A and B are shown apart, each in its own frame.
Chain A
């Protein structure tokens, strides 16, 4: 994802809170997604933001600022099973030119 930047690796402690940032530059922003991918498995959907603000879903929240080209994923009460790669993806374009552009992912290690 040459137009999407997110940290390569992060480490956190079980029970803590971690924030994974994602910055992007796109033409024709049309929504931002966060996915979780455990090693050897397929990505699974976590959240979707298209308007500015915070979307909360249980222990996970996602924030978007379109003017700043910035999003973050907030994980609370970390559990060992949260160790995974977190992928930021931006949908750009309109009509038949819409496509998802993916970041390279942030590998999160949760330690006891």
Chain B
């Protein structure tokens, strides 16, 4: 079974621009979560989608948004990029958001650099 894939793997943007990151979960997984990882803050939860609905959202400004499609693929968008948005963005999928089925499988991440 193929793992979680994320595109692009690396991205360089300038302040003020916007960016869209893509995540394809493991086949059959319907739950997708997004995280931002930085050395100082660790893994910070962005949002979780299940069956095309946002189930939960972390404490990030409205510039961060996401969506999930009927095939469970997900995208996240960051508008008006700031230098502090430079981070590794990780996507994780799981069969369902409960119990042991909540074990999350992470993709390789997208390394975003904002200059």
Measured CB to CB, the residues of A under 8 A from B are: 1, 31, 33, 41-45, 48, 87, 89, 91, 93, 96-105
Contact = CB atoms under 8 A, between A and B. Distances in A.
A44 B106 CA distance: 7
Contact of A87 (B43, B58, B102): B43
B55 A96 contact: yes
Contacts, number: 51
Most buried by B among A31, A48, A100, A105: A100
B108 A41 contact: yes
B109 interface: yes
Interface string B10-27: 000000000000000000
B105 interface: yes
A61 B102 CA distance: 19
A1 to B, nearest CB: 6
B42 A100 contact: no
Interface in B32-49: 33, 35, 41-45, 48
A105 B58 contact: no
A89 B42 CA distance: 11
28 contacts: A33-B103, A33-B104, A41-B108, A42-B4, A42-B90, A42-B108, A43-B43, A43-B90, A44-B106, A48-B100, A87-B42, A87-B43, A89-B43, A91-B102, A96-B55, A96-B56, A97-B56, A98-B56, A98-B97, A98-B98, A99-B45, A99-B56, A100-B33, A101-B45, A102-B42, A102-B44, A103-B42, A104-B42
A42 B107 contact: yes
Contact of A102 (B43, B97, B105, B108): B43
A43 B106 contact: yes
